[in-house]
């Protein structure tokens, strides 16, 4: 019998298995890990038969799948704290964007930053996310809006993954805003995105997916469709910032392209959510942006439940609408703002987030899954959404190896 590299024992486990209700709890559980993979999980009394090179006894602490942040804009230059103050004084996000601020102000700062500067600026944000229990993160481009800077952002995202050891999934957000050079000519930028940027990113293996922002202050359905057609031509799956500020029928548009996910969704119609269910498109709900923009339109949680659309939750970490660097904060907000249950919130940052990224071997504790595991000093997994502030994370493993919690 081959020995395990690590046996974690004396743990209570929230497996988050899809086929087991109520967090999928195993009391007095143990996990045997070999070659970075969960080899065995079950009752601790049955685990002692097998030799293990190392044992970690958790004294009854809880284990969950390590958390996954499936929607971030982690790489950017500068910040937008001054705009935050303007909005508190009454200016709207759309007003600021139309006046050349908003996303375009971050574009100016990002273009002016070197790759090293972008990397150094992103690292503490990544450390903070890791300290909140994250071992997998999606990072979008979208603040370059020229070919060179978009490519630079994606390279920095890949480098962050290499340097930190966490899994980084990259998304080319070519159609995020109309770049200043194309002011009044959004289609001109879509031409460049389709004919130069998507091919360049695809050829260099820098993008795992393509995203777009379908909104009155960004791109319309036809323009998004052109971007998605180009992505498809280059074998890249798509996701969409959809119906965040108005109902642009983005959910149905995303579903029409079998998008991996449609994100935000506050204004999506019931028909849009039904289309997502039929297409297997996950919903990604972003309470940090909802809170920061003082949004009052609730995302369609009831429709997602009714139609069986998986709901992921993410930070949307970005300098404009969601300066947030803790996935647990996103969970806590989703409960309070969207009335999602703590179980839905933990599923939303584990198995449903894995689904939104199509990472089949992550997001659940079961044999055959990668050993991405978090241990917590809590009384029950619902506490992860209940408490604000204190960080109860005690151990974090990526593929069975301990991750250092520098920002804990
Ligand atoms: O997910 N909605 C568009 N994109 C971002 C915001 C980007 C920004 O304001 O810098 C979002 O909310
Ligand atoms: Fe976003």
Give CA–CA dist 77/141, Å, rounded: 12
- Residue 408's pLDDT band (boundaries 50, 70, 90)? very low
Q: Which residues contact 302 (CB under 8 A, 6 or more apart)?
A: none
Q: What is the pLDDT of residues 365-393, one digit of tens each?
A: 999 999 999 999 999 999 999 999 999 99
Please give the pLDDT value at position 406: 62
Q: Is 222 exposed, middle or buried (0-12, 13-18, 19+ CB in 10 A)?
A: exposed
Q: What is the pLDDT of residues 178-192, one digit of tens each?
A: 999 999 999 999 999
pLDDT exceeds cutoff 50 at 107? yes
Buried b (16+ CB within 10 A) or exposed e, 49-73: ebebeeebebeebbbbbbbbbbbbb
Atom 6 in ligand 1: residue holding the nearest Cα: 321
Which ligand is nearest the CA of 320, by number?
1
Q: Yes or no: say if 68 and 349 are a contact pair by the CB < 8 Å rule.
A: yes
Please give the pLDDT value at position 404: 83
Atom 3 in ligand 1: residue holding the nearest Cα: 213
Give CA–CA dist 167/190, Å, rounded: 30
**Quick one: average pLDDT of 1-9?**
90
Q: Is 385 exposed, middle or buried (0-12, 13-18, 19+ CB in 10 A)?
A: buried
pLDDT exceeds cutoff 90 at 47? no
Give CA–CA dist 138/357, Å, rounded: 8
Mean pLDDT of the chain: 96
Paired residues of 1 in beta bridges: none
Least confident piece of the model among 44-48, 88-92, 126-130: 44-48
- Report which DSSP code applies to 352: H
Q: What is the pLDDT of residues 135-167, one digit of tens each?
A: 999 999 999 999 999 999 999 999 999 999 999
- Residue 50's pLDDT band (boundaries 50, 70, 90)? confident
Q: What is the pLDDT of residues 200-254, one digit of tens each?
A: 999 999 999 999 999 988 999 999 999 999 999 999 999 999 999 999 999 999 9
Q: Is 110 in the pocket of ligand 1 (CB under 6 A)?
A: no
Give the residue among 384, 386, 385, 36 at the shortest CA–CA distance from 394.
384
**Candidate from 289, 295, 315, 317 with most ligand 1 atoms within 8 A of CB, to mutate:** 289
Q: Is 289 in the pocket of ligand 1 (CB under 6 A)?
A: yes
| Ligand 2: centre distance to CA 20 (Å) | 31
């Amino acid at each position: 019998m081959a020995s395990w590299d690590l046996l974690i024992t004396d743990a209570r486990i929230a497996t988050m298995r899809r086929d087991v209700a109520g967090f999928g709890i195993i009391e007095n559980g143990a996990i045997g890990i070999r070659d970075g993979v969960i080899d065995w999980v079950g009752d601790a009394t049955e685990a002692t038969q097998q030799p293990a090179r190392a044992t970690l006894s958790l004294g009854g602490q809880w284990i969950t799948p390590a958390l996954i942040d499936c929607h971030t804009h982690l790489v950017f230059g500068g910040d937008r704290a001054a705009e935050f103050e303007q909005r508190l004084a009454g200016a709207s996000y759309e007003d600021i964007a139309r006046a050349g601020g908003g996303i375009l102000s971050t574009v100016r700062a990002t273009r002016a930053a070197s790759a090293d500067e972008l990397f150094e600026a992103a690292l503490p944000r990544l450390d903070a996310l890791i300290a909140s229990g994250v071992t997998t993160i999606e990072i979008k481009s979208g603040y370059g809006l020229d070919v060179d800077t978009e490519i630079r952002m994606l390279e920095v995202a890949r480098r962050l993954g290499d340097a930190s050891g966490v899994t980084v999934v990259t998304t080319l957000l070519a159609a995020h805003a109309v770049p200043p050079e194309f002011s009044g000519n959004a289609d001109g930028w879509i031409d460049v995105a389709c004919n130069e940027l998507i091919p360049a990113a695809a050829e260099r293996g820098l993008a795992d997916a393509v995203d777009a922002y379908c909104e009155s202050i960004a791109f319309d359905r036809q323009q998004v469709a052109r971007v998605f057609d180009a992505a498809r031509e280059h074998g890249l799956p798509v996701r969409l910032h959809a119906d965040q500020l108005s109902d642009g029928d983005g959910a149905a548009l995303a579903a029409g392209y079998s998008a991996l996910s449609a994100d935000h969704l506050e204004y999506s119609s019931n028909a849009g959510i039904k289309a997502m269910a039929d297409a297997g498109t996950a919903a990604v709900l972003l309470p940090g942006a909802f809170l920061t923009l003082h949004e009052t339109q609730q995302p369609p949680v009831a429709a997602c439940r009714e139609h069986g659309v998986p709901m992921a939750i993410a930070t949307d970490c970005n300098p404009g609408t969601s300066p947030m660097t803790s996935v647990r904060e996103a969970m806590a907000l989703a409960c309070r703002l969207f009335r999602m249950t703590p179980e839905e919130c933990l599923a939303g940052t584990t198995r449903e987030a894995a689904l939104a990224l199509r990472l089949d071997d992550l997001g659940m504790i079961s044999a055959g899954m990668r050993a991405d595991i978090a241990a917590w000093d809590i009384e029950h997994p619902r506490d992860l959404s209940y408490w604000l502030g204190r960080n109860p994370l005690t151990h974090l493993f990526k593929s069975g190896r301990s991750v250092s919690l520098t920002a804990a």
